[in-house]
Structures are given as C-alpha cells and as structure tokens.
C-alpha cells in the first residue's frame, strides 16, 4: 500500500497488479466474480456496510420477509447458469402459480390484464379498436429511424392510445417509477428499438424471438421469475462468498483515482478517518450516477469530471411493506400485484402481493404486500414521513383491495434517488462516460448509469465489464 500520489519504484509488471472494482452492488460483484474465475487478482471497495447495493432483505423474527429493494429476478439462461455456479439451486424458488394474474386499476377497480394473445382478443379489457390496431401492427415493415423519440410516442405508433394509457403507462411506473412521455424509446427499451429496426412489427419480432428460443431448446415464453428462500440478498452473499478472501473492503469510500505514467492506477480510499492508497492495474467503476459524479479521476489540476452525471434524474420512491391478517383483506391477492395508470389519479404507483409471489413471506394467517409510492408522478408523496404517508395508503388499499383496519406490521424504506431515468438526452450522459474511458487506459464504467436498470441488466453489465478487462 502507498501513502501518497507519487509513482512507487517497484518492478511488479502491471498485469500482476489487482483490478480495482469500485462498488459492491450486483454489477461490481458480478464483475469481481467473473474476474476471479478468470484468475485475476481483485480488490473490491464499497462505501456501505453491506454488499449488494439496492438489494436489502430483512428476515424478521415474527415471520415476515421484507424486500426493501427489488422483489424478484428474471431468470434468463445466463442468470440460471450463475445460480448453478454459485450453488444456489437448492435456495432458488420460482414464482408461485397463485401469482398468475397481473392486475391494472381501471375505472377504480382491479382488472386482470390479458395474459396471452388469445386472451387479448377475447378479453373485454381493451376495445375492439385497440384489438384491430394490434392485428394491423403485424403488417408494419422495418423502419430505420433517424432520431430518438419518447417511449409513449413509439408505442402509440404501433398500438394506439388505449394501450399506452392502460398498459405502457402503469408498466413504466412499476419498472422505472417514471413517465413514458419523457423516457427515451432507444435507451429505456433498446430491445424494442432493435426489434422495430429488424422486423418493423413488434408482434412479429416477439413471434420470431419465441421461435429462436425453441430452436435453442429454451422455453419460448418470458424468463421465469425467481427469488431465494432467504430473499434476494442471498445472491450478493453468494457472490461475495465466491471471491478470494480479504479482497472486499466495506465502509471504504473511494475518493480519488489517479492514472500513472506506466498505465497503472492509484486508488485513494477512506474508512473511519484513515486514508489508504493502493496501486492497481485497472479500475472498474460500478457506481450509481450520483457517486460517479462525486468521484475525482485524473491528476491534480487536470481531472476528468463525471459531475454532469448528477443531473441524471432519479426520482424518489418509498417502499412500504405492509402485513395484514388474511381475514382483513377482501381481495384474493391471486396475482403478482396491481399497477396504477396515471389517469386513475391514485396516490400509489402499484402494489406487489408479496406473500402470493413466494412462500414464507408472511406468518401463518397473514398476508404481505409491498406498496410503491412517489416516482416521477408524485415525488412529494415519497418524501412524506411514514406517519403521514400510511393513512393515505391505507385509504387507497381499502378502496382497491377491501383492506380493513390498520396493518399489523409496517416497514418503510425511502429511496431519495431511486431509479435512473433514461430520457431523450441520455446520449449526453453516455458521451461523458465514453470520454472518460477513452481518456484513461484501463478505466471501465458500467451499471445502471448506462446498461439498464433491472437485476438481470446489472449482472450482465458486470459480466461485460469483466470481459472487457480480460479481452
């Protein structure tokens, strides 16, 4: 270890130096895991006391299992392979068949969304006009677009207003806590953008994707939704356990990164008032935008600034985990949950039926649900203290789910900067990241700031970062 910013006089060739990974969320831990498998020495730093980033699971002694962050994981083939490699197959649990319905609030009541093309045609959820629009969408030809456009406009061109209002709008509130009128079609959903470029029709693209999956011997439907018996935090724990001992530094805030003339780096980090400097071969940044914006990169007097990333919007979200007696909830909770379109003028973005999704999320005779509040739609509600927010949400749940009385268990988690919003100016943020990487050999940046916001995206971002280092 070093105590200053000067280049040390040692004869260790750079390839033998460790790779520094800044951030121990899913992206950073995924990168560390793959680099360790490739035989690379690694050092992982995180300012938090626990690894895992936004993954926070609490096992309460009374029998509640609370997910304060993400609640489920899409298991594509890459994720399934990782679960097997980490020895988590016995811990893995699939989403319950009881969670088959996806509800949307329409006209003040919960209505199940059509779950298949046949159900879409026969269901009364959408109008005849929207159904006809879906059929005519099949005839669209590939369209190379000159410029980006709002996600809502993109989907409206394909399927019309009703589907935007009662499907896209609540879906975006549930995934991004955002506004489809402001999000970039190209960056928020790159797979749809590419599907239109190749097929024209998004429906035909979905059919082609299902056919390709069958040809590979995979199920043609969407990836299974899974978790773990002890909650999603089992995944970062297993990733940490797969790493070499002593490589993870927690409560370690990295303050500065200094590139050296020989292509190596100095990493300066602080813990409990003590500053430490280490020499490494490459640096992987797997931090959220706000943390990247505060990081000093480069020699004194000539830094590379990522400060503009602080303007990447992250609306606040509050997650309310609520436990009720089963007898106090009239709705059967026979679904994944319910999402709320903005046109309904409600005070919540959506509610997950947590105890219907996976077993052992609530004690016997009780049910659990997770209510999401705030986002771009109502950031003011996300900033309310629990004692003011809870009565508002209880009134909504009484109206929508027939909930009677107060919850017997409450756990509130506030996320002041929750989910990055990939808006129409997102290219500007990506250019700042690309410039930093181009300016500094051995610097690699990934994660939610550029690679997508889901757990699957984060794991894939870590895999990609590791591959870039070992290429």
DSSP code string of 51-88: SSTT--EEE-TTS-EEESS---EE--HHHHHHHHHTT-
Asked if residue 419 lies in contact with residue 181, where contact means CB atoms within 8 angstroms, the answer is no
The pLDDT of residue 29: 98
Which structure tokens are listed for 330?
């009239």
Check: CATH 2.20.25.90 for 126-215?
no
Q: What is the three-class DSSP state of 430?
A: helix
For 57-74+94-98+315-415, the fitting CATH number among 3.90.660.20, 3.40.228.10, 3.30.230.10, 3.30.70.940 is 3.90.660.20
Q: Report, as ranges of residue numbers, the positions in the chain whose pLDDT lies below 70.
A: 1-15
Rounded Cα distance between 19 and 92, Å, is: 31
The pLDDT of residue 1: 38
Q: Is 368 exposed, middle or buried (0-12, 13-18, 19+ CB in 10 A)?
A: buried
Nearest CA-CA partner of 311 in 173, 432, 429: 429
Same fold, 14-54+233-311+422-470 and 57-74+94-98+315-415: no
Check: CATH 3.40.50.970 for 14-54+233-311+422-470?
no
Taking the model in full, what pTM does it have? 0.93
Asked if residue 448 lies in contact with residue 206, where contact means CB atoms within 8 angstroms, the answer is no
The pLDDT of residue 100: 86
Nearest CA-CA partner of 256 in 295, 292, 291, 283: 295
Rounded Cα distance between 213 and 87, Å, is: 26
Q: Which residues contact 450 (CB under 8 A, 6 or more apart)?
A: 429, 430, 433, 461
What are the CA-CA distances from residue 131 to residues 36, 117, 163, 230 (Å)? 51, 10, 10, 42
The pLDDT of residue 116: 81
Rounded Cα distance between 178 and 467, Å, is: 32
Asked if residue 32 lies in contact with residue 21, where contact means CB atoms within 8 angstroms, the answer is yes
Rounded Cα distance between 425 and 439, Å, is: 22
The pLDDT of residue 324: 98
Where are the domains positioned within the chain? 14-54+233-311+422-470, 57-74+94-98+315-415, 126-215
The pLDDT of residue 15: 55
The pLDDT of residue 10: 45
């Amino acid at each position: 270890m070093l105590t200053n910013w000067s280049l040390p006089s040692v004869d260790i060739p750079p390839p033998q130096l460790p790779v520094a990974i800044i951030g121990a969320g899913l992206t950073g831990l995924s990168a560390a895991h793959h680099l360790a498998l490739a035989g690379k020495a690694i050092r992982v730093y995180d300012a938090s006391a626990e690894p895992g980033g936004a993954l926070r699971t609490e096992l309460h002694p009374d029998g509640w299992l609370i997910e304060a962050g993400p609640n489920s994981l899409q298991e594509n083939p890459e994720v399934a392979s990782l679960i097997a490699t980490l020895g988590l197959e016995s811990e893995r649990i699939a989403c319950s068949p009881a969670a088959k319905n996806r509800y949307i609030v329409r006209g003040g009541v919960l209505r199940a969304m059509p779950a298949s093309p046949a159900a879409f045609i026969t269901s009364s959820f959408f109008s005849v006009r929207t159904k006809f629009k879906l059929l005519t969408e099949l005839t669209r030809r590939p369209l190379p677009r000159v410029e980006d456009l709002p996600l809502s406009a993109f989907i409206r061109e394909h399927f019309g207003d009703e589907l935007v209002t009662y499907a896209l709008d609540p879906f975006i509130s549930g995934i991004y806590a955002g506004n489809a009128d402001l999000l970039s079609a190209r960056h928020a959903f790159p797979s749809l953008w590419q599907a239109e470029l190749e097929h024209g029709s998004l429906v035909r693209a979905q059919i082609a994707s299902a056919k390709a999956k069958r040809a590979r011997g995979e199920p043609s439907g969407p990836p299974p939704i899974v978790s773990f018996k002890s909650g999603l935090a089992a995944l970062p724990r297993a990733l940490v356990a797969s790493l070499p001992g002593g490589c993870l530094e927690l409560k370690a805030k990295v303050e500065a990164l200094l590139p050296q003339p020989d292509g190596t780096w100095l990493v300066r980090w602080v813990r409990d008032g003590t500053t430490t400097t280490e020499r490494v071969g490459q640096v992987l940044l797997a931090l959220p935008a706000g943390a990247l914006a505060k990081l000093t990169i480069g020699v004194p007097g000539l830094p590379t600034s990522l400060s503009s990333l602080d303007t990447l919007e992250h609306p606040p979200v509050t997650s309310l985990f609520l436990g009720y007696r089963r007898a106090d909830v009239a709705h059967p909770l026979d679904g994944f949950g319910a999402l709320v379109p903005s046109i309904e003028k409600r005070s919540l973005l959506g509610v997950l039926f947590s105890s219907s999704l996976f077993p052992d999320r609530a004690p016997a005779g009780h049910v659990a649900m997770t209510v999401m509040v705030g986002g771009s739609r109502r950031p003011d509600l996300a900033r309310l203290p629990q004692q003011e927010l809870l009565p508002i949400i209880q009134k909504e749940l009484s109206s929508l789910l027939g909930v009677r009385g107060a919850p017997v268990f409450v756990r509130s988690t506030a996320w002041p900067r929750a989910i990055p919003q990939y808006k129409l100016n997102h290219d500007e943020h990506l250019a700042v990241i690309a410039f930093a990487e181009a300016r500094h050999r051995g610097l690699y940046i990934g994660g939610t700031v550029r690679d997508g916001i889901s757990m699957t995206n984060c794991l894939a971002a870590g895999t990609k970062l590791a591959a870039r280092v070992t290429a």
